[in-house]
Structure formats: C-alpha cells, structure tokens
Amino acid sequence: MAEKIQAIVIKSNDRKEKDKSILLFSLEKGKVWATLRGVKSAGAKMKLAKSPFCFGEFILEEGKAGYVVTSFEAKETFHEISEDVDKYFEATSILEMVYAYDFSNLEEVQAIFVLVLKSLMRICFAKCQTLYVLNKFFLEVFKLSGFPLYSEICTCCKSKSFLKHYINFPNGEIVCNNCKNFDSQELSGACFSALKILSETSFEKLDTIKLAQNSEFELLKILVKNFECHFDKKLKLLGILS
C-alpha cells in the first residue's frame, strides 16, 4: 500500500550498482530509511531525491527489504547551500543533529521537523549570520525536548544575582558561582549575552541582531557539549570545535 509523506533528505548511501538508500526525516513518520531504485542512472527521474537537504513529497511502498520510493515531487532543493562552505557546514550540522536525536513521540517529531525546515530556509535564503541560525536551532531543540538552557535565575538556588554564569553538564542548567560543580563550565559575559539574545530572538528577527565578535563560536562549543552530554550522542562534524 502506497504512503505519502512530506520529508527532508538527511543522508544517502550507495546500495547496489544503481540504487541509493536515503534517510528521510518526515512530518508523518519521523526518520525512515527508503530505497531509490536506479537513481544513479544518467536519466533517472528521481535524481534530486538522493540529495541531502532536499525537501519534497515522497510516495513510499513497503517491499521485502523495507520502503521503496516510487514517486517524488521536490518542493525545495536548497541547492544554494552546497555552493557556500559556511552555509553547507551549518546546514549539514543540523542534519547531523537530527540523525543523532532520538524522538520520543510524533508531536516532538513534527515540532522539530518544522524547526529544521525553518532553519534551512534561513540558512539558504536569509541575510543573517548562518551561525546564529545553527545556535538558535540548538536552543530551540533543547526547549522542545523539555530542557531549555537559558535562564535569568540560577536553576539550583533560584538566585537572581550572578557574579559569573556557569553551565552544569550533563544537566544543561545555568547556575551561579555558588552552585557550580566539577561538571560546570564558566560562560564569559559575551557568551551569556549571546545566549540571552538568541533565546529571546525569533528566527525571523535574526537578521536584526549583532552579537559580540566570536561569541557565537564560544556559544556553539557550549551548545555542542550540552547536546552530547545531555543526549549521550556524539556529533562528528561539530566535534571539530572541541
């Protein structure tokens, strides 16, 4: 029985001489592997469907070895992302996070699917700093998973007075200097300011903000470590930042 899904291609692997296996992140089913038959042939009709970032409508049929894509209609290829090294890094990092993330329910799948699509749109077409988008994506994933990172108070003692800000790993909580422990890492003033600004700014307004120089890189290292500690997953691509 044929099944129609809206999906983004996360990754693809070679399979047999002319086939490809693609990992789809779909609004309806979450992550699912499917086969593209004959897609490596010169005149293949569904050639676009093997490209990471590609978003479209896929028709799946279940065969003996799993799902097979029998039809595909592209809605957005995001081909501009592959033409810019910075955009490619940020967008690929988002796909890697989706690959590593374990979804708990369909509601979470749908919320993060919309978030991924919104992020790719901003990276591809908006004029904002693409690294801002990647950091914002991390922060929104934490929030959707029930563990928001930014807090104006110490999440341990509830104090509003901070001499310095720290993040406790693996709890992913902002704490004061009195509540830090051996798992804590200090955030510079610029890094905490970037965390605050990005947490309070919508995707649509990212092109209106300006963070302190290099604070987005410092924050990204914190967010990567928080993701890896909290979800017990390693991000290979973003591991270069460690």
Would you kindly state where each structural domain of the chain is located, as residue ranges? 3-77, 80-241
Is 80-241 CATH 1.10.357? no
Respond yes or no on whether the N-terminal peptide bond of residue 148 is cis (omega within 30° of 0).
Answer: no
Three-state DSSP state, 132: helix
Tens of pLDDT, residues 79-102: 999 999 999 999 999 999 999 999
CATH of domain 3-77: 2.40.50.140
Residues comprising the chain, all counted: 242
SS3 percent helix, strand, coil of the chain, rounded to 5, is 40, 25, 35
pLDDT digits (tens, 9 = 90+) for 115-146: 999 999 999 998 889 899 999 999 999 999 99
- pTM metric for this prediction: 0.92
The CA distance from 32 to 123, in Å, is: 24
Which segments of the chain have a pLDDT < 50?
Answer: none
DSSP codes of every residue in 14-81: EETTTEEEEEEEETTTEEEEEEETTTTSTT-TTGGGGSTT-EEEEEEEEETTEEEEEEEEEEE--GGG
Q: Of all residues in the chain, what percent carry a pLDDT higher than 90?
A: 71
Q: What is the mean pLDDT of the chain?
A: 91
